[in-house]
Amino acid sequence: EEAAVELSDVEVISEDIPGWLVANEGSLTVALDITVSDELRREGIARKLLSHVSYDAQMLGCTTASLEVEDGNEAAIALYAALGFTEAGRRRGYYGAGKDAIVMTAPLPLVLPLDNASPEPTAAEQRAWPLPAPERTAEERAEIERRRLVLAIESSCDETAVAIIDADGKMLANQVSTQIDFHARFGGVVPEIASRKHVEVIVSVVDAALEDAAASLGLEGGAIAPSELAAVGVTQGPGLVGALVVGVAFAKGFAYAAGKPLVCVNHLEGHLFANLLAQPDLKPPFIFTLVSGGHTMLVHVKAWGDYEVLGETLDDAVGEAFDKVAKALGLGYPGGPIISKLAETGNPKAIDFPRALNSRGDYRFSLSGLKTAVTLYIEQETKAGRTIHLPDLAASFEAAVFDVQYKKAKNALHATGCKEYCIGGGVSANPHLREMMIKKLGRQGIRVTVPPLSACTDNAAMIAEVARRKFDRGEISPFDVDADPSMTL
């Protein structure tokens, strides 16, 4: 509270962390509020909490930590000193009359004594491997076997996701743990943070999915055990290499130890197959538009697995353009959802932004010119002292992006004679894009499929759908595969 009065920006780090991020004179400080009950002292709890909080704070961009400790509490002062804290000041009467607080600060990362760096896990933290399958009736066991459960892992960017699908394509679990909060401060995904966060949560996300699958099947004995799965799928690429490696290494170890086959999946194919979750009878040939944070592609899907990429972006991906425009306006990250919300009440014809590479038969995309036009517009208006009408700007920007998407998709449909169209990637969650394609192409007799909203941005359900089909066809990956950050369709 004191910090809130004195300092410019105070923010709760996360619900389960007792600390605040404080922006002060250009540096970020984390303020901690940690107390350990008397009966639990001397078990290293404070040290663990401190190292956890300070680690998260550092990931959020903090450079120092500060705390108050009562003068005379020698045990606590010694602990903090060992972590690198030094006295920075005093608060008189902080803990009541005559009881002063010593203010201590430390640079991040904290000094973690070697003997405490990786403490032995307690008995409660350890699990025997192989995890035993819970007691099941013979019917339950037969049912689980019949379903041929495939567990799939996605970790290509800033989402750690795990889904479990059965042989009929029924999704029994679909867990997504997002790291967006940890990247938002930096205005984009920070690869090192992404990797670390995947490492931290992957075990618990897998556990949660195994529990969900048991619940979906009405099994009362407990979570699905690894031995009860039929296969393990994983995103092999494309994406951030350090993020992919976490999923791939985990999947390999998990599958190998459980004695199950490994199935590697192309993330881009995942975005395509997300459409099958909405329209199971979608069949090639058709035209597919992929619009995500990393990719912009127009694809002629001639058969499953036979893809002709008609055109790609020469510079920014569509999602990236949304993110950059939002950043230029100081609106936050990721930009897509923010801009599409603003655009709801805006006039798409208010500002005439350029449409690039607009000639027939040219399936390439370019978004950097549009991005520059938007930036220039913001500068001009600001200089002229006019307030920018954000909804109009957002709607006009969207219109410029989506007009081009529509036109090229329409041309590709005509040129190939395809009667089906679908779309995928984070930007396909945009309501205006979905509506435009469904309405305008629908009027021309094209059947338009859009993925369920939950399967547009990165998720493991779409990876599970690809893995299930590959597993069905016997397309198993060897255990010496590596993540492939530059995989193409």
Alpha-carbon distance of 287 to 265, in angstroms, equals 21
CA 190/CA 184 separation, integer angstroms: 9
Q: Which entry of Zn ion, ligand KG4, none binds 337, CB below 5 to 8 A by partner kind?
A: ligand KG4
Instruction: Specify the stretch interacting with ligand KG4 by CB under 6 A; choose among 29-37, 94-102, 333-341, 369-377.
Output: 333-341
Structural tokens at position 150: 């495939």
Kindly identify the residues of this chain, within the stretch 139-158, that bind ligand KG4 according to CB under 6 A: 157
Give CA 483 to chain center in angstroms. Answer: 18
* Greatest extent of the chain over all pairs of C-alpha atoms, in Å: 85
Residue 158 binds Zn ion (CB under 5 A): no
Alpha carbon dihedral 345, 350, 356, 361, in 10-degree steps, equals 80
- Whole-angstrom CA distances from 332 to 90, 160, 179, 253, 337 are 37, 21, 15, 37, 10
Task: Give CA–CA dist 27/62, Å, rounded.
Answer: 7
Q: Does 68 bind Zn ion (CB under 5 A)?
A: no
Angle at which helices 74-82 and 45-59 pack, to 10 degrees? 40
Judged by CB under 6 A, the residue of 80, 254, 273, 322 near ligand KG4 is 322
402 binds ligand KG4 (CB under 6 A): no
Q: Are the CB atoms for 349 and 396 separated by under 8 Å? A: yes
Q: Is 270 in the site for ligand KG4 (CB under 6 A)?
A: no
Closest CA to 122 of 179, 19, 43: 43
Site for Zn ion contains 458 (CB under 5 A): yes
CB of 399 to ligand KG4, least distance (A): 13
Q: Does the protein bind ligand KG4 through residue 166 (CB under 6 A)?
A: no
Residue 101 vs 246, nearer CB to ligand KG4: 246
Name which of ligand KG4, Zn ion, none residue 323 binds, using a CB cut-off of 5 to 8 Å depending on partner kind: ligand KG4
- Cβ nearer to ligand KG4, comparing 323 with 420: 323
Residue 405-444 contact track with ligand KG4, rule CB under 6 A, x = bound: --------------------xxx-xx--------------
Q: Which range in 26-34, 190-198, 328-336, 466-474 contacts ligand KG4 by CB under 6 A?
A: 328-336
Residue 204: CB minimum distance to ligand KG4, A:
21
Residues 247-306 that bind Zn ion (CB under 5 A): 292
* Dist. CA 354–CA 367, nearest whole Å: 9
Choose between 296 and 340: whose C-beta lies nearer to Zn ion: 296
Number of Cβ atoms within 10 Å of the Cβ of 87: 13
Dihedrals phi, psi of 59, to nearest 5 degrees: -60, -30
* Position 187 contacts ligand KG4 (CB under 6 A): no
Interacting residue with ligand KG4 among 233, 294, 346, 348 (CB under 6 A): 294
Interface positions with Zn ion (CB under 5 A): 292, 458
